Structure 1
Amino acid sequence: MRSSYLSYAVFSAFISFSFAVGAFAAPPSPTPLATFHVPGLATNDYLGWSLATDGQRVLVGTGLGSAYLYDPFTQQQLAKVTLPSADVGTSVALQGDSAVIAGTFDTYVYNFADLTNISKIKLTPSDYPGTRVGFSVDMSGDVVIAAAAKDPNNAAIGGAAYLFDRVTGNQIARLVANDGQENDGFGVAVAIDEGRAAVAALQPLSSSGGAVYLFDAEPSTVGNRQLAKYAPAPGLQSPGQFGYNVDLNDETLVATQPFGQSFIWPTAGTPAPLASSSGNIRAAADGVSVSSDYVALGIEIQGLVRIYDKTGKTVGILAPPPGSPIGFGLAVAIEGDLLAVSAGGGSPAASTVYVYRVQDVLVVPEPSSVAMTLLGVCGVAASSRRRPRR
């Protein structure tokens, strides 16, 4: 995830002004199903650095290599695990009783079937044992994808993504771009669903604005796995870094630029800008998640989460609840009827995670273009910091 903090006081003042001039159709702030906060977190150990949900439970990563498993329906913490190594940044994925939890350099599969005896398997590439993976992770069925955004074993490639068997931990395949080059950032973001994997590279060959690659992720596949390479049209590349965040569900891909636009497209198509994601007025999404029905886009600098259907139509806009810390939209996760959203708060002590029912967030008025432009101007005052994706 990437974090850029807008003063909540500025945001609140703008909302009040917008109502006064009639410029803003206020997005709702439904009551969260659950709210999670952990007191006493260390410096940089933000709760909600990354998020995952399987529609039943929520997995929350922190900034310093820990993760919490919650039941949002009972609002209970079910488990806490901490990576053996002191990695900075945590990327998480959740599927039933299995969770993938990774720091920048180490990835583990945890089994939560018995919460009194949680087991784990470390994922290590067999062909390049010295490679430390975990910059970004995801999981689908029995396949886990974990990235090494700069693979030390092949400087000519610059990065790699690895497929592992979720149950055994054995390596299935190593994914690299057919046109890979040194320092291309390949693997900065990954996603996997139903036998296909998406891997982003921020500076690929002949595409300075970034690209997303689609691979065959079936365990039985032999030979070249690359299926496609995507990049926005040249006029939409600025300011670049397309693929800063990426997610994949069924035939739908979504990718963001950190200070540009967000894009949606079918696997057989080309990237098209999502509505209200122009880079002229604000930073692009700081988190993206795609479910079977919807796309959730966290816009931390605005303190909003936008919900789209698979056609790219806006079907919901979620504002932070009263009293929320700043940075609402830092990370998002959507699946089934659950939507999880984190707010960085400007400090770990304030960082909070909110869980909503998707049905409570849908079908709201669209803010006017005037209001969104003014809100983007307010966002100029925000400071920003860069950190690894979930």
Structure 2
Amino acid sequence: MKTSPHLRPAFFLIVSLALLLVAERADALHPQITKLHGKSSESRANSNFGSAVAVTERWIIVGDPNHGQKGFQAGAVHIFNVRNGRYVRRIYGDDTVAGDGFGSSVAVCGNRLLVGAPNRTESASFCGTAYLFDLVSGRQIAKLTPSSPAAFDFFGTSVAVSDDFAVVGAPGADGSTSDSGSVSVFDAKTGDPITFSTSGTLPNPPFKPADGASGDDFGAAVALCGHLLFVGAPNADASAGKVYLFDVTTGVRLRTRTNPGGANSARFGETVSTEGGLLVVGAPTDDEVAGGAGAAYLFDAYTGVQRIKFTDAAGQLGDRFGSAVCVSGGLILVGSEQAPGAASGTGAAFLYDAASGARLEELTAPDGKTNDFFGHAVAVCGNVAVIGASEAGDDVEPAQGAAYFYRPIGGPLPMQTLAKMRDFAPGTEEADFRILRDVGINPDGEAIFCAQLTGPGSGGGTDKGVWHTLEGPVDLAVKSRTDLSAVAIDFNNVRSTALFGPVMNQGNRGIFQSRLVGTGVNGTNNLAILQKQASLPVSSLLRTGTDITQLGDARIQIFREVLQNANVDAVTVSYLLRRGPGGITSIDDTGILSVNASGLVTDFSARENATIGTGASAVDLRQFFGRATAGRGNYATFGAYCSQASGGPSKQGLFYDQIGNSDDGVTALAMTLIPDATGEEFYRTFTGETNTSDTRSIYRAVLTGADVSGANNEGLWDEDGYYQIFRKGSGVADGPDPDGLGGDEPIRPLDENVVVNRILKFWPVGSNGSIALVKLRGPGVNASNDCALFFCDSTENVYVKLMREGDSVCDWDCPKIRNIQRVEVNPQDGRYAIVVGLTGGAARNQALFTGMARFGLLHTQSALRMPSMKLRKGTHYDSGYSQATTLRSILLDESTDRTGAGGKGLKQSLNNNGDLVLSLQFNNGAKELVIGNP
């Protein structure tokens, strides 16, 4: 092992539109480079140390397939400490012998190591094997062998491992056809092979593509993340190459990705890597730049859409750009093992920003020589990278191989800064942002947020304000002490004080509330709902103390809830009227109304003492609950006490009202039987409601009756067919059939004896779906795994578990979900975001995940609805023009109300395009609001 005394400058660049900004920070731009070597008491000449590499926040693993300690070309794997690059130990299989090629491939998950020995002769020549190890002790856990070994299978050519699965590729094995190649899946904890359904209804047998052909080399490369398994077949289609996507939990093929460059013998799929919803595929003999110069492609792992094709513009004949690829933490590292580098054919590696595709740096060996094959293997984790140079020599012996360890490295944050604590506040003088909060986003990616100010112009640190991006850059709408005389006639000499409650669910306008002071302002008229429209001044929609003609000149005393419809020109307000004006008394002082962008009241029929419904089902409305829903349609749902028009005691009910029209009615009433009741089971109280995009209600209720106990007294229903989504004390219904054709056991989201204990939060998804966060109880359930997030398709009665505490996370250290901290759901298409706590050290124990609950076909493509990790605490970011720093915390605003109901017209932090607004804190003390699709 050597640490180079000559550190090559690594000028990290970030491209933003047409602007190229270059930084010169010593820590990020001059990473320390340590050269790693293997150890052996035998000759190391032609050992090929560095043929395979992997790295975590704890370990560096380097494969040495021709290592001779156990015999000629027996192989070995060397372990190093990632903190200092020091040598830890050497690992062999318990039965490693000459010719095995042990260490030709390596994969790591936490403290679990998977090693391929593809040349081993077991029951047939070169059939191959693989081995599982515990990295802490170096102990072999299991030996993995193919179910039907045959000569020249080369089982172990590629390997991938997660906390649950170990995957081994055998590109010479009989798969779909003779010698087409295969992959095998094992239990990562025990090494036991996992079998999958072979039902005749499957479109093709597990992990065997129907279009496979002899010589495809299917299994030459594998990449695994969560449920998604990508398998490369670089010789398919006359070496144009293919990559297949499978659900590793079912074996069902989800997609086939052919070479985007066409049939040019590019060997697309010779290398693959996946993480964070991204897929990188190497095509090292692509000829776009020059014959065999190579290329690499970046795809969305879920949709399959190509984002970028990477090439080296200066590439030359036979460079093999794409000979190795790795994606991790928003960085992509591509090896080009025959690129010129420091000398002809030395090799190079190229670092890219995954979000923008910008090249951050070309990495070369400071002491590189011709034909070192630097870039034959690459790995990235966090802020470190390892690059193998499998033919490097002359340090001790020729072609012994080497690996180069770079730290720290970093790229730009994959989101744009919206506002930053201690930066100046636009639209003010001598005032800076002190506290940033209450941020929302609209479908166009425009944002609105509140902030408290500091500085000489901040009113002694008491000023607050609302800012927006409706007109491009961040701009001030209103702040404390702003003169509002131009807002409306009755605002003359009136000023703002506190501002709060911003909502912007529409593409051209946002709303917020302001407390008022000034001429004529008192406790009866000191609150207003203000509106900011693009290119228009701030206007007033409603104000307390103002006569409302439609309510008989009654005056609003309190806005109990203020909602903005997403697709309808309406702001829906739950109100409490002041007693006295307009003849209002305690029996008619609550209700809801809607106003349009002009401030005109467009609906006011839902109010106390009104009759709703017709005939025998008609009821008289009594006291309103003070909450409503106004999601995406022109219907509002609300709760209120009521009594039958014919008389009787007052009870709770849920009701609907069409904005601007006369359609209204009853959704559910207390003391009526619940849908599908099996005995005396009645609604007692309604404890939260929202509505779907086609206006139907989703509601939670507490139950009563002789057949109800504390163990089953809560449920969640969908008004569409009065479908029971969840019931306390009941299990979660089955998931999808693996192939959607029937005949297979459905995927169970939970053990059949685990039941729902509490419904915490819920959101609508489109017209017939929902997402719910629930607490669980039952066998095996404890504080570390008792909370889960589910998607339910109420039309097909199918449930998909999106996340559960205790689930494994796809990252090199393989942490688990410690707790689900925040959830946000866009109700239009079911995009969701989750902030979680992770197991492991405090430096990296928080992360952001995103997913699309409505993506793909419900049955065969449920794996594509799972979340992927987008940001993680402890990640090193270097913008290239400001101080490099590390992410310390992630805060996601939720859109749920006090009952846990979301998607109802409150502010959203996530729009239907996947754009998010977040609050991030960094180790250098910076706190920022950021926006974008990470």
TM-score by length of 2: 0.26
Letter in 2 for 1:287: A
Is 2:135 the counterpart of 1:217? Answer: yes
Shift of the alpha carbon at 1:165? 0.6
| CA distance in structure 2 between the aligned counterparts of 1:353 and 1:72, rounded to whole angstroms | 19
1:265 maps to: 186
Is 2:276 the counterpart of 1:333? Answer: no
Q: 1:121 to 1:339 in 2, by over 3 A?
A: same
Q: 1:320 to 1:76 in 2, by over 3 A?
A: farther
Shift of the alpha carbon at 1:128? 5.2
Question: Residues 334-380 of structure 1: CA distance to partner in whole angstroms, max 9, x if unpaired?
Answer: 11111111223455725221111112229xxxxxxxxxxxxxxxxxx
Shift of the alpha carbon at 1:199? 1.0
Is 2:208 the counterpart of 1:275? Answer: yes
Question: Residues 203-228 of structure 1: CA distance to partner in whole angstroms, max 9, x if unpaired?
Answer: 4363431100111012xx2xx61110
Structure with more contact order per residue of length (Cα contacts < 8 Å, sep ≥ 6): 1
The answer on whether the counterparts of 1:142 and 1:167 sit within 8 Å (CA) in structure 2 is: yes
| CA distance in structure 2 between the aligned counterparts of 1:74 and 1:189, rounded to whole angstroms | 39
1:105 maps to: none
| CA distance in structure 2 between the aligned counterparts of 1:74 and 1:299, rounded to whole angstroms | 36
* Residue pairs, 1:153-168, within 5 angstroms: 153-155=69-71, 158-168=74-84
2:163 maps to: 250
Q: 1:69 to 1:187 in 2, by over 3 A?
A: farther
Question: Residues 116-172 of structure 1: CA distance to partner in whole angstroms, max 9, x if unpaired?
Answer: 212211223466597562111111221011111121344278211011111211122
TM-score by length of 1: 0.58
Is 2:224 the counterpart of 1:306? Answer: no
1:291 maps to: 225
**Counterpart pick for 1:231 among 141, 145, 163:** 145
Q: 1:240 to 1:259 in 2, by over 3 A?
A: closer
Q: 1:257 to 1:205 in 2, by over 3 A?
A: closer
SS of the equivalent of 1:328 reads coil
| CA distance in structure 2 between the aligned counterparts of 1:185 and 1:78, rounded to whole angstroms | 46
| CA distance in structure 1 between the aligned counterparts of 2:21 and 2:160, rounded to whole angstroms | 27
Q: 1:271 to 1:78 in 2, by over 3 A?
A: farther
Letter in 2 for 1:176: Y
| CA distance in structure 2 between the aligned counterparts of 1:315 and 1:323, rounded to whole angstroms | 21
| CA distance in structure 2 between the aligned counterparts of 1:332 and 1:76, rounded to whole angstroms | 31
2:89 maps to: 173
Structure 1 regions of 5+ residues with no counterpart? 1-66, 80-111, 363-386
Question: Residues 292-316 of structure 1: CA distance to partner in whole angstroms, max 9, x if unpaired?
Answer: 3311112222222111122222122
1:118 maps to: 31
| CA distance in structure 2 between the aligned counterparts of 1:323 and 1:244, rounded to whole angstroms | 26
Is 2:259 the counterpart of 1:320? Answer: yes
Q: 1:182 to 1:338 in 2, by over 3 A?
A: same
| CA distance in structure 1 between the aligned counterparts of 2:92 and 2:99, rounded to whole angstroms | 13
| CA distance in structure 1 between the aligned counterparts of 2:85 and 2:151, rounded to whole angstroms | 40
2:299 maps to: 356
Which stretch of structure 1 is more off in the superposition, 117-126 or 206-215? Answer: 117-126
1:63 maps to: none
The answer on whether the counterparts of 2:40 and 2:68 sit within 8 Å (CA) in structure 1 is: no
The answer on whether the counterparts of 2:215 and 2:235 sit within 8 Å (CA) in structure 1 is: no
Shift of the alpha carbon at 1:327? 2.4
Structure 2 regions of 5+ residues with no counterpart? 1-9, 174-181, 196-205, 306-372, 379-934
The answer on whether the counterparts of 2:76 and 2:90 sit within 8 Å (CA) in structure 1 is: yes
| CA distance in structure 1 between the aligned counterparts of 2:112 and 2:63, rounded to whole angstroms | 15
SS of the equivalent of 1:359 reads coil
Letter in 2 for 1:258: P
Which stretch of structure 1 is more off in the superposition, 180-189 or 312-321? Answer: 312-321
Which structure is higher in helix share? Answer: 1
The answer on whether the counterparts of 2:286 and 2:295 sit within 8 Å (CA) in structure 1 is: no
Letter in 2 for 1:282: D
Letter in 2 for 1:270: P
Shift of the alpha carbon at 1:251? 1.9
| CA distance in structure 2 between the aligned counterparts of 1:239 and 1:77, rounded to whole angstroms | 51
Q: 1:345 to 1:231 in 2, by over 3 A?
A: same
The answer on whether the counterparts of 1:231 and 1:271 sit within 8 Å (CA) in structure 2 is: no
The answer on whether the counterparts of 2:51 and 2:62 sit within 8 Å (CA) in structure 1 is: yes
Q: 1:172 to 1:317 in 2, by over 3 A?
A: same
The answer on whether the counterparts of 1:232 and 1:271 sit within 8 Å (CA) in structure 2 is: no
| CA distance in structure 2 between the aligned counterparts of 1:168 and 1:294, rounded to whole angstroms | 33
| CA distance in structure 2 between the aligned counterparts of 1:191 and 1:293, rounded to whole angstroms | 17
Query: How many residues get paired?
Result: 263
Shift of the alpha carbon at 1:323? 5.8
Which structure is higher in strand share? Answer: 2
The answer on whether the counterparts of 2:12 and 2:29 sit within 8 Å (CA) in structure 1 is: no
| CA distance in structure 1 between the aligned counterparts of 2:151 and 2:18, rounded to whole angstroms | 42
**Counterpart pick for 2:120 among 204, 208, 211:** 204
Letter in 1 for 2:122: S
1:342 maps to: 282
The answer on whether the counterparts of 1:250 and 1:292 sit within 8 Å (CA) in structure 2 is: no
The answer on whether the counterparts of 2:42 and 2:68 sit within 8 Å (CA) in structure 1 is: no
The answer on whether the counterparts of 1:135 and 1:389 sit within 8 Å (CA) in structure 2 is: yes
Q: 1:266 to 1:177 in 2, by over 3 A?
A: same
* Residue pairs, 1:72-87, within 5 angstroms: none
Q: 1:193 to 1:207 in 2, by over 3 A?
A: farther
The answer on whether the counterparts of 1:190 and 1:246 sit within 8 Å (CA) in structure 2 is: yes
| CA distance in structure 2 between the aligned counterparts of 1:262 and 1:230, rounded to whole angstroms | 12
